[in-house]
């Protein structure tokens, strides 16, 4: 799946956010009780069920063998089945154990990583002297990486080398077809006073956008996280279901369904403890949106497009 961000026309934004009309042609009425003027009525796709993708959270299969130990060195990992979302990272602990009194420096390397993924060791060289030593391995995945197909993973070997002595630990490394779309801190500072669409949501969205890639049948699952200090509602076009605008509290009173600061958009409006809401995108998807209260054409926002992996 691919993500693409760039400038779009004001007319497209008006449709995408529903401030002028929804994709069904229904005129939305301003409601001053919500920031930006929402009608408080259900929007197209607001409560539509998301098909999801079981592969988004499935663990990779365990490696066939733990690795290759020697009479001098052994290597183990804190997890042999690491999985990382697009644009995210995970840190593992690598333990290097000397055997039979072995002493010496050992360099750490990783082989078999999927295209685009990187592994950084801290430290990259450990000095062995009778006791086990540890290092941190940071696995990073760019948003442009191709997710692992269902049931698939990459066979990665982490090797400690000391002269002619080598030992390794195996891992099944999976790239999840999953992406967190983050509303940035102080997003109001990104807003313009004119009609320019500011594509500044996250590192994947900039002046030179790149599409996300995934296999057919392995759609990317997107969640929205609000890193701002104030609540937001997310607008979207017909392909990006509009965020819920209101909900009824326990007393039956209508409340604004804002995504609270430092929380995911919940699957149940008004209940931040509910699982994050998901929106699933297969190759061919091309959507855009921005925070509700920004006003059409005057907001920081995003574009997301997905293409089939070669």
- In order of their start, the domains of the chain are 59-175 (2.60.40.10)
> Residue 75 has what pLDDT?
97
- What tens digit of pLDDT does each residue of 174-194 get? 999 999 998 888 887 776 655
- What tens digit of pLDDT does each residue of 92-151 get? 999 999 998 999 999 999 999 999 999 999 999 999 998 999 999 999 999 989 999 999
Q: Which whole number is the average pLDDT over 154-160?
A: 98
Better-scored residue on pLDDT, 22 or 126: 126
> Residue 202 has what pLDDT?
59
- Chain-wide mean pLDDT for the chain? 81
- 2-6, 74-78, 219-223, range with the lowest pLDDT: 2-6
CA distance 137 to 202: 24
CA distance 201 to 291: 11
- What tens digit of pLDDT does each residue of 249-288 get? 999 999 989 999 999 999 999 999 999 999 999 999 988 8
Q: Is the pLDDT of residue 29 over 50?
A: no
> Residue 8 has what pLDDT?
30
Number of other residues whose CB lies within 10 A of the CB of residue 172: 22
Task: Pick the closest to residue 228 from 275, 295, 278, 181 (CA basis).
Answer: 181
> Residue 128 has what pLDDT?
95
pTM of the model: 0.83
Q: Is the pLDDT of residue 37 over 60?
A: no
């Amino acid at each position: 799946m691919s993500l693409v961000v760039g400038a779009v026309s004001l007319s497209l934004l008006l449709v995408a956010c529903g401030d002028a009309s929804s994709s069904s042609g229904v005129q939305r009425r301003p409601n001053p009780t919500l920031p930006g003027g929402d009608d408080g009525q259900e929007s197209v796709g607001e409560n539509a069920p998301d098909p999801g993708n079981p592969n988004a959270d499935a663990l990779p299969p365990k490696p066939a063998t733990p690795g290759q130990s020697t009479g001098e060195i052994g290597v183990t990992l804190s997890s042999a089945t690491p999985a990382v979302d697009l644009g995210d990272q995970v840190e593992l602990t690598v333990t290097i154990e000397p055997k039979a009194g072995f002493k010496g420096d050992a360099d750490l390397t990783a082989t078999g990583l999927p295209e685009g993924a990187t592994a950084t060791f801290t430290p990259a060289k450990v000095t062995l002297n009778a006791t086990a030593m540890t290092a941190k391995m940071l696995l990073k995945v760019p948003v442009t990486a191709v997710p692992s197909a269902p049931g698939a993973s990459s066979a990665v070997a982490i090797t400690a080398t000391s002269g002619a002595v080598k030992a390794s630990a195996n891992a099944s490394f999976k790239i999840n077809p999953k992406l967190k779309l983050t509303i940035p801190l102080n997003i109001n500072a990104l807003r313009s006073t004119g009609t320019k669409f500011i594509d500044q949501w996250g590192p994947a969205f900039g002046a030179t956008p790149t599409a996300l890639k995934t296999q057919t049948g392995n759609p990317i699952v997107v969640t929205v996280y609000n890193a701002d200090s104030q609540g937001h509602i997310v607008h979207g076009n017909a392909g990006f279901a509009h965020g819920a605008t209101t909900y009824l509290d326990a007393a039956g009173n209508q409340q604004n369904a804002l995504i609270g600061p430092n929380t995911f958009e919940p699957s149940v409006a008004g209940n931040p403890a509910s699982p994050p809401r998901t929106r699933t995108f297969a190759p061919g998807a091309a959507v855009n949106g921005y925070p509700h209260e920004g006003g059409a054409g005057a907001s920081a926002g995003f574009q997301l497009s997905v293409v089939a992996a070669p």
